[in-house]
């Protein structure tokens, strides 16, 4: 009988303590024990085989699952790659289509904007119809279809050559004239076709009107092309819009100077601005911006008149009394005996010599000589307004259309009469201001009844026309009336 120790040995290297140690085989004591031991060993082996089989199956399942996930991922990535390729291809096609459309649009709009192409197309169709009818009426038969191709094609060819010459900055004037000549001939053929190809018995006047309208419609495309070429020529020239407008204004105001400047430019090769400055200096005697000969003469004349006005003595030329000229006679100075001057009386007023003008007046003498005569200046003692110089003067009115000012009192002195006249004028001014204010209120009330915007209507010009005064005065009345309504412009 095999005996085992009852002590619980500690595991060594992970070995179960209930199992016999490695390398030691217990000796069965009988057959039953041997069978039980063999059965236990087989069970242990079966259990190990089952565990190994389960582990193998688990690994197989994990492997299959991993393969399935990898296949699914590959399928998804392939689908995404195909989708990305399709999107790239679609974007490339869209970009190529946009490039082709932009290139086509650039080609079409090289000499004409896109919005003008329908006008040119309709103009060509209208012209071709009348030209074919004209060829049929002339008996050309099957060759009548080539007439529109000949005329309109020649016009389009010359127009393209003209546009290319403008773009390349080459002479284009004769090409432009040839284009207009061919277009005019095509329009004439179009008009003839619509006029002579009319039905029998139709009204000739209506046929003539229709022919003229068709001819004008066939020319509209060329007119639009001409306008576009003018803009293109201005853009290619490099000049700004202000410069173009300036030279047009100079050519309109000074056509002779501009013509001379262009001649100088052709002869010398300098630019037009320098040629114009040179011609201006030759004609006016000064560079542009400096006072010309005409302006210098005008300023000197104005200075002379200003000095003449400043030296005026206050009298009119009809009231001036010039003393008789006295000949200058040489006198011999003789010595007289010294005498004591008599004392001047105390009641005699003080004599103040009259001032003279700064320049003496040269007058002819008796012997044909010129004598320098000093002209005295007699200042006015009192100033009398023109309105009170007498009944023979014109009646003063302020403003026109008002009653004349009342005459001052005959008993009043000069200052009192002036005050009375000023008060009368002030009353007239107040009356005129009240009348204008009433008219302004009436005009604003009428505009308000019509439902107009009082911030814009009536305008200052309308108010000035209504009141019969200057726009500045009308603006003051209009501002006052609108302020009464609480409106501020």
d(Cα 28, Cα 34) in Å, to the nearest integer? Answer: 6
Is-contact 171 165, C-beta < 8 A?
yes
Please give the residue that has the higher pLDDT: either 158 or 343: 158
| pTM score, whole prediction | 0.39
Model pLDDT, residue 376: 67
d(Cα 380, Cα 171) in Å, to the nearest integer? Answer: 77
Measure CA 380 to chain center: 60
Model pLDDT, residue 66: 92
pLDDT tens-place string over residues 473-489: 888 888 888 888 888 87
d(Cα 155, Cα 157) in Å, to the nearest integer? Answer: 5
pLDDT tens-place string over residues 195-218: 876 767 677 788 888 888 888 888
Is-contact 321 339, C-beta < 8 A?
no
pLDDT tens-place string over residues 110-162: 667 777 777 788 888 877 777 777 777 777 777 777 788 888 888 888 888 88
Across the range 29-39, mean pLDDT stands at 85
pLDDT > 90 in the chain, percent? 16
The set of residues, in sequence order, having a beta carbon less than 8 Å from that of 249 and lying 6+ positions away, is: none
d(Cα 184, Cα 230) in Å, to the nearest integer? Answer: 19
Is the pLDDT score of 107 beyond 80? no
Residue 268, Cβ neighbours under 10 Å: how many?
A: 11
* 214: nearest Cα among 185, 196, 188: 188
Helices 255-268 and 272-284 sit at what angle, rounded to 10 degrees? 120
d(Cα 388, Cα 313) in Å, to the nearest integer? Answer: 21
Which residue carries 């290619």 as its tokens?
Answer: 236
Angle at 437 between CA 436 and CA 442, to 5 degrees: 95
* 322: nearest Cα among 362, 352, 369: 362
| Residues linked to residue 448 through DSSP beta bridges, in sequence order | none
pLDDT > 70 in the chain, percent? 71
The set of residues, in sequence order, having a beta carbon less than 8 Å from that of 43 and lying 6+ positions away, is: none
pLDDT confidence bin for 327, thresholds 50/70/90: very low
d(Cα 198, Cα 210) in Å, to the nearest integer? Answer: 10
pLDDT confidence bin for 51, thresholds 50/70/90: very high
On the CB side of 329, CA atoms within 13 Å amount to 7
Model pLDDT, residue 290: 86
Assess whether the previous peptide bond of 484 is cis (omega < 30° from 0).
no
Is the pLDDT score of 232 beyond 50? yes
d(Cα 136, Cα 458) in Å, to the nearest integer? Answer: 64
pLDDT confidence bin for 56, thresholds 50/70/90: very high
Handedness of CA 477, 482, 485, 489 (dihedral sign): negative
Is-contact 123 221, C-beta < 8 A?
yes
* 444: nearest Cα among 402, 385, 485, 398: 485
* 121: nearest Cα among 108, 140, 136, 104: 108
Handedness of CA 22, 25, 26, 30 (dihedral sign): positive
Model pLDDT, residue 62: 93
Backbone angles phi, psi at 371, to 5 degrees: -115, 130
Is the pLDDT score of 275 beyond 70? yes
């Amino acid at each position: 009988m095999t005996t085992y120790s009852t002590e619980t040995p500690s595991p060594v290297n992970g070995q179960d303590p209930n199992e016999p140690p490695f390398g030691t085989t217990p000796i069965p004591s009988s057959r039953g024990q041997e069978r039980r031991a063999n059965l236990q060993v087989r069970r242990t082996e079966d259990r190990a085989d089952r565990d190994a089989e389960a582990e193998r199956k688990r690994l197989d399942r994990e492997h299959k699952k991993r393969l399935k996930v990898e296949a699914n991922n590959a399928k998804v990535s392939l689908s995404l790659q195909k989708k990305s390729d399709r999107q790239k291809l679609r974007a490339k096609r869209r970009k190529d289509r946009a490039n082709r459309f932009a290139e086509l649009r650039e080609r079409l709009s090289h000499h004409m904007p896109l919005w003008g192409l329908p006008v040119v197309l309709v103009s060509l169709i209208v012209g071709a119809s009348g030209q074919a009818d004209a060829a049929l009426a002339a008996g050309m038969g099957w060759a009548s279809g080539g007439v529109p191709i000949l005329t309109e094609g020649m016009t389009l060819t010359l127009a393209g050559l003209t546009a290319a010459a403008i773009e390349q900055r080459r002479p284009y004037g004769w090409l432009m004239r040839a284009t207009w000549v061919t277009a005019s001939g095509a329009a004439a053929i179009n008009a003839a076709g619509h006029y002579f190809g009319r039905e029998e018995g139709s009204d000739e006047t209506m046929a003539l009107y229709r022919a003229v309208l068709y001819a004008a419609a066939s020319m509209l495309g060329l007119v639009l092309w001409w306008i576009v070429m003018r803009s293109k020529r201005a853009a290619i020239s490099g000049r700004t819009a202000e410069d173009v407008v300036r030279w047009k204004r100079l050519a309109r105001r000074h056509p002779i100077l501009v013509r001379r400047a262009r001649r100088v430019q052709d002869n010398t090769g300098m630019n037009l601005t320098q040629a114009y400055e040179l011609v201006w200096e030759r004609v006016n005697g000064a560079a542009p911006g400096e006072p010309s000969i005409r302006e210098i003469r005008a300023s000197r004349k104005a200075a002379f008149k200003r000095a003449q006005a400043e030296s005026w003595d206050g009298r009119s030329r009809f009231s001036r009394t010039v003393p008789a000229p006295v000949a200058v006679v040489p006198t011999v100075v003789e010595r007289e005996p010294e005498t004591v001057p008599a004392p001047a009386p105390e009641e005699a007023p003080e004599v103040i010599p009259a001032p003279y003008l700064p320049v003496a007046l040269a007058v002819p003498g008796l012997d044909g000589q010129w004598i320098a005569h000093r002209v005295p200046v007699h200042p006015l003692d009192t100033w009398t307004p023109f309105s009170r110089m007498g009944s023979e003067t014109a009646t003063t009115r302020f403003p026109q259309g008002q009653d004349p000012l009342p005459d001052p009192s005959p008993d009043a002195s000069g200052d009192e009469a002036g005050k009375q006249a000023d008060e009368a004028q002030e009353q007239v001014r107040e009356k005129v201001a009240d009348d204008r204010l009433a008219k302004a209120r009436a005009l604003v009330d009428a505009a308000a009844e019509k439902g107009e915007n009082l911030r814009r209507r009536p305008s200052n010009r309308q108010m000035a026309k209504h009141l019969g005064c200057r726009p500045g005065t009308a603006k003051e009345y209009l501002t006052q009336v609108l302020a009464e309504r609480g409106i501020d412009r």
